[in-house]
Amino acid sequence: MTSGRVRTSRPVRALFAVLGTIFLALALVGIVVPILPTTPFLLLAAACYARASTRLYAWLLGQPTLGPIIERWRRSGSMAPGIKRRALIVVIVTFAVSIALVGDLPVRAGLAAFGAVLLLFLARIPTEA
């Protein structure tokens, strides 16, 4: 939703605005916490803001760091190669360090499995130059 008035009741728009803000906060935390994915939360925030307020949605799209990620995803369902490469590297390093520091074998195995699933998920996202 890029223009026009949002056509839902005020309480529903308020709920979407709150949810969008929560998802945006989680996306921002995900920038520095590799286990927490940034892009899905950012896309959820954009979807909620689009239903809550054209002003909030336009503000999010206007952010120089986050807006292009949303626009690229809307346009082609892809990530920029540099962002994808950094995400893969950060996941590998973070999980390797975590596995090395944890002494408990079941926890190590769980971290390795979760890391492998996360890497597979990221690797399957198309890239667009």
Cβ neighbours, 10 Å, residue 118? 19
Residues 100 and 82 in one domain: yes
Whether 116 has a pLDDT exceeding 60, the answer reads yes
Residues 57 and 83 in one domain: no
Last residue of a domain, one of 77, 100, 120: 77
Q: Where are the alpha helices (DSSP H) in the chain?
A: 10-32, 38-52, 54-61, 67-76, 81-101, 105-124
Average pLDDT over residues 121-126: 88
Q: How many domains does the chain have?
A: 2
Residues 109 and 73 in one domain: no
Q: For the range 93-97, what are the long-range contacts, defined as Cβ-Cβ under 8 Å and sequence gap of 24 or more?
A: 94/34, 94/35, 95/34
For the record, the structure tokens of 126 come out as 């198309």
Give residues with Cβ within 8 angstroms of 17, minimum separation 6: 48, 49, 52, 53, 56
pLDDT tens by residue, 31-61: 887 677 788 889 899 999 999 999 999 999 9
Residues 101 and 57 in one domain: no
| Residue 62 domain boundaries | 1-77
The DSSP element (H or E) to which 79 belongs, if any, is none
Question: Among candidates 98, 17, 82, 109, which has minimal Cα distance to 54?
Answer: 17
Last residue of a domain, one of 33, 51, 77: 77
Residues 73 and 83 in one domain: no
Strands, E assignment, 13-120: none
Residues 91 and 50 in one domain: no
pLDDT tens by residue, 57-80: 999 999 998 898 889 888 898 888
